[in-house]
Amino acid sequence: MDSATLLEKAKAATDNATVRRVFGEPIERDGIVLLPVATVSAGGGGGAGKGFAGKTENPDPAGEPSQGEGSGGGFGLNAKPAGVFILKDGDVTWKPALDVNKIVVGGQVIAVVALLVARSILRRQLRKRR
């Protein structure tokens, strides 16, 4: 794949990194408009190569240093719901999206810390009794 084709594919991917990929179109019913909001980020990479400017530890069978080659690539896209703006009777309110995974991980971290603190306290009390 040549670099022009790779750049065209990367551009097409970034063009698709929109809020509509996460939520769809804003919704209007009974005078209320829901305007979804998302956090969308994208990143890319590249590469190249050709010859090797120096000696290598793995010469080819003829005893000559091997010639380098190269390639590369990479692309990442991340889209997360952030929340929704609610427009009703001229007032705007914000309702954040709830990330259950963060809540679960936060609870696990708190539980581990609590267990470590309890273990430390119990060890100190056992040492005092001796």
What is the residue-wise DSSP string for 26-75? Answer: -EEETTEEEEEEEEEEEEE--EE----SS--SS--TTSPPPPP--EE--E
Per-residue model confidence as pLDDT tens digits over 4-50: 676 677 677 666 666 566 666 788 999 999 988 888 777 777 777 77
The answer to whether the pTM exceeds 0.85 is: no
pLDDT of residue 70: 77
Q: Would you kindly state where each structural domain of the chain is located, as residue ranges?
A: 3-97, 99-130
More confident residue, 126 or 46: 126
Average pLDDT over the chain reads: 79
Confidence (pLDDT) at 42: 75
